[in-house]
Each structure stands twice: as structure tokens, then as C-alpha cells.
Amino acid sequence: MGKVGEETKQVEKEKSEEEDDQEMIRQEKLAEKRRQERIRQEEKAEKQRKERIKLLEKAEKERKEAAQRLEIEAFHDRVELEFKKRQHDKNSRLKTKQAIESMEKEL
């Protein structure tokens, strides 16, 4: 009976070691799964970061283009204003000249 008891203890010990090995394998698989998920999340975050950078660069380009358009419009407005001012001055001189001529005719 002692030999049977020793064999039973040996079988139980082997069974316990097998269960420990299985648990260790399960834990390693779980750790690997977590690692893979962390890598996937990091890659996703990096992709989002690159996309945000791309959008910021696009927005900056659009902002610069809008600023340039505004500068051009402002220049055109200044040119138009100057033209109107000169036209007004020319018309004023013409009216003054005509008024002088009219007064001279009356004299």
C-alpha cells in the first residue's frame, strides 16, 4: 500500500505540475494578447496623430491662401478707391474749369 500511496502522490504531483504549466501557458498567452492589443492601440494613436497633423497642415495652407486672397482684395480696393478719388478730382477740376468759363462768359 505504501507503493500505491507513493505512486498516487507522484501522479498528483505530476498533475499539479501539468496544471501549473497550463496556467503559466495561459498567463503567457494572455500577456501576449495584451501586448498585441497595446501595440494595436499605439499604432491606432500614431495613425490618428498623423491624420491630425495632416489636417492641421491643410488648415494652415487654407488659412494662408485666404490671407493672400484678402491681401489681393484689399489691394484691389485701394486701387479702386484711388481711381475713384482721381476721377472725382478730375471731375472737380473739370467742374471748376467749367464754372470759371461760365463766369467768364457772363462777364
Q: Look-up: residue for cell 491606432? A: 44
- Quick one: average pLDDT of 25-34? 97
Q: Which of 8-17, 45-54, 70-79 has the lowest mean pLDDT?
A: 8-17
Chain centroid offset of residue 41 CA: 19
DSSP string, 14-73: HHHHHHHHHHHHHHHHHHHHHHHHHHHHHHHHHHHHHHHHHHHHHHHHHHHHHHHHHHHH
SS3 of residue 81 by DSSP: helix
pLDDT band with cut points at 50, 70 and 90 for residue 48:
very high
Report the alpha-carbon distance of residue 107 to residue 100 in Å, rounded: 11
Say what percent of the chain tops pLDDT 70. 97
Angle value at C-alpha 27, between 24 and 31, nearest 5 degrees = 135
On the question of pLDDT at 1 being above 60, the answer is no
On the question of pLDDT at 107 being above 90, the answer is no
pTM of the model: 0.54
Query: For position 13, what pLDDT does the model report?
Result: 83
Burial of 76 (0-12, 13-18, 19+ CB in 10 A): exposed
Length, in residues, of the chain: 107
Q: What is the pLDDT of residues 57-74, one digit of tens each?
A: 999 999 999 999 999 999
